[in-house]
Amino acid sequence: MSYIDDLCERRKNLLPIKNQIENSYEEIYRCFKNGNKLLICGNGGSSADSSHIMGELVKSFKKDRRIDMDMELKLKKEIEKLNSKNPKFNIEEMYEGFIKNLERGVSCVDLTAFTALNTAYMNDKCFEYVYANAVMNIGVEEDVLLCITTSGNSKNVFNAAVLAKSKSMKVIAMTGGDGGNIKDVADISIRVPFNETYLIQEEHIAIYHAICLDIENNLF
């Protein structure tokens, strides 16, 4: 049983949108499998969710994600090269430190985390296009943009989605209620069946946890 199956078994209210959740997982999985990246944006609590998702994907969640042999060999060569320049470095200690502590992850970018960039842009330009500007300069074709907006009407998130589509990126929207304006742009729209913000956010957390767990389980 997948984590998404388990989630919908425990939360029957999500059964009507199970297909959208599964399709979102498949799109994000394909993106990572093909060497592309996931970009995420949102405001307020949804900004915190963006950071939360990145945290689950760029390091281990439940599963051990020890680095692979190829990376181990590259590290060993680099440490030996360093030691040849200066013998004071303890090769074994450095090597063991990297091997013990590094974890494999995927390319995931929380667009809300760039405080200097975002505040500079909003100060010089405006709030409505802050994420669109980041997507334009960071996103590439076949990347995925995950837009989190409980109303579906956040202007800066909506504009980021439009920009992403212009770059042939896939857009997934996590919303509530009727999905708002962004549902008309998104390739996949996960519409939680609530209208209250806090209730929508509670379901969003459960949904992206299940997606992240299934990605980890199948990629690593």
Which of 212, 214, 174 lies closest to 193 in space, CA to CA? Answer: 174
What is the strand order of the sheet 144-148 is part of?
Answer: 108-110, 38-42, 144-148, 170-176, 188-192
User: pLDDT tens across 96-147, in order?
Assistant: 999 999 999 999 999 999 999 999 999 999 999 999 999 999 999 999 999 9
Q: Work out the average pLDDT over 185-189.
A: 98
Q: What is the pLDDT of residue 89?
A: 80
Percent of the chain scoring above 70 in pLDDT: 100
CA distances from 27 to 30, 83, 154 (A): 5, 44, 23
The mean of the pLDDT values for the chain is: 96
Task: Specify the CATH number for 3-64+105-219; select among 3.30.470.20, 3.40.50.10490, 3.40.30.10, 3.20.20.10.
Answer: 3.40.50.10490
User: pLDDT tens across 14-27, in order?
Assistant: 999 999 999 999 99
Q: How confident is the model at residue 88 (pLDDT cuts 50, 70, 90)?
A: confident
Domain map of the chain by residue range? 3-64+105-219, 69-101
In the predicted structure, residue 84 carries a pLDDT above the cut 90: no
